[in-house]
Amino acid sequence: MPFKDLREFIGKLEKEGELLRIGEEVDWNLEAGAVLRRCAEAHLPAVVFEKILGYPEGYSLCGGLAANYRRLAITLDMDPGARPKEIMEEILRRRQRPVKPRQVKHGPCKENIHAGSDVDLLEFPVPMIHGGDGGRYIGTWHLTITKDPESDWVNWGMYRHMLHDRSTIGVFNAHQQHCLQMFTRCYEAKNKPMDIAIAIGVEPVLTFVATTSVPYGISEVDIAGGLRGEPVDLVRCETVDLSVPATSEIVIEGEVRPGERMDEGPFGEFSGYMSGLKQPRPVIHVKAITHRNNPILTMSCPGIPTDDDFVLTVTKGIEAWEPLRARGLPVTGVSVFAEGGLKLVVVAVKPLYANIAEEVAHLVWGSKIGPSTPYLIVVEDDVDPYDLGQVVHALATKCHPYRGIVRLEHASVTHLTPFLNRHERQYNMGAKAYFDCTWPVDWEKSDKPKRISLAEAYPPEVQQKALALWRKYGH
């Protein structure tokens, strides 16, 4: 059964030992971010800060909700011990059965309503997350909701939002992202404002879906319904023509006006670096705020992996797997290691014919995640793509330094890629490479070195005796 709201999910995380409540007073100015950064780097539980300096009792901050596979499994109501491949395969299965949302008249997010001159974003403990950020960021773990006026398709995404003042927010979008495409093509080109809603503190499956790359025109809310096995309850906004999850903790309603820009950024990003230099970007004018009693403001503290962006290791892996599966390639697994700043995809495949690695590369780079994937490693099916040690071993022993590394000199990339120079970032230009870690199919069997491991170098009966002996000693 799905979680009905964020609060129920927090309770489940706490029960599973994946969440800690901090009752000591914490400062929203860098201190909360520093605590979450330590959680990420030391693989500690998620955190709820229950007392924030300068804010009333009952207002809290929460972060680290999706920083490991256990929390992702709990998000999907799976066994917390589920392996990465199981999680990805279950998501792929559920996505085949989308469920339309259900419109309701009322929801907890309407317990408090502020509109017009009563709007004050500083009512909430908006954190200054990293030293060097361009400002306080209210949107780092949330849903951003917009609608295509030509088709009524509603897009859910996650785009960072910097606080400008009590009633205006910045919005950062890459050119490849649907929100900016929608704004420039459907609204700004016609000199019309775009309605927008930001839902903060939603049921975790909904946030998970917001991080997923899906084709333009596909509704993330339908996918969310499929993942949870039940419709998502939506309630109408007060001042804009959009609907939001009814159990959201905080909802911000506003409009983005054509031709208007304000400086936004920089911000410490998932790559582990300060990214997205201060530049003029679109502005949200807030018309209304609704929120629950004792609202929980969710946040993420991106940086050196792993952190909440860990969720993207699964969503990005799925988006790489789908086109490979659709082509019928014999893929046995796809992984995206958070430690690589989400820039590296590993694909395990049965090498049935020559140059299969090249076909894998073209399909992955031709998908929506292509611009954010400058590096691709292709390994054989005897390598576990989720085991970083096995992947590094294959890379160092099976990839020929000249023949096995194939470079694409001119390629489309996302401007958040740290190694790009200023000119490349401005025009989303860059390069890519794939590493072919498969044995050439024209080699004789005797030419292929035999790998030495417990499973491959010993008879089954000897393996069992060795394992039994270790179990006797508690290992």
Q: Which residues are catalytic?
A: 269
Q: State the DSSP string of 124-192.
A: S---B-STT-SS-EEESSEEEEEE-TTT--EEEE---EEEEETTEEE----TTSHHHHHIIIIIGGGT-
Q: State the DSSP string of 398-447.
A: HS-TTTSEEEEEEEE--TT-TT--HHHHHHTEEEEEEEEES--TTS-GGG
Q: What number of CA atoms fall less than 13 Å from residue 123's CA on the CB side?
A: 21
| DSSP three-state, residue 353 | coil
**Whether the Cβ atoms of residue 97 and residue 270 lie closer than 8 Å to each other:** no
Dihedral pair phi/psi, residue 144, rounded to 5°:
-110, 125
Radius of gyration of the chain (CA): 23
**Amino acid identity for residue 381 in this structure:** D
374, two tokens:
């400058």
**Whether the Cβ atoms of residue 183 and residue 194 lie closer than 8 Å to each other:** yes
**Whether the Cβ atoms of residue 350 and residue 390 lie closer than 8 Å to each other:** no
**Whether the Cβ atoms of residue 213 and residue 319 lie closer than 8 Å to each other:** yes
Pairing status of strand 296-299 against strand 60-63? parallel
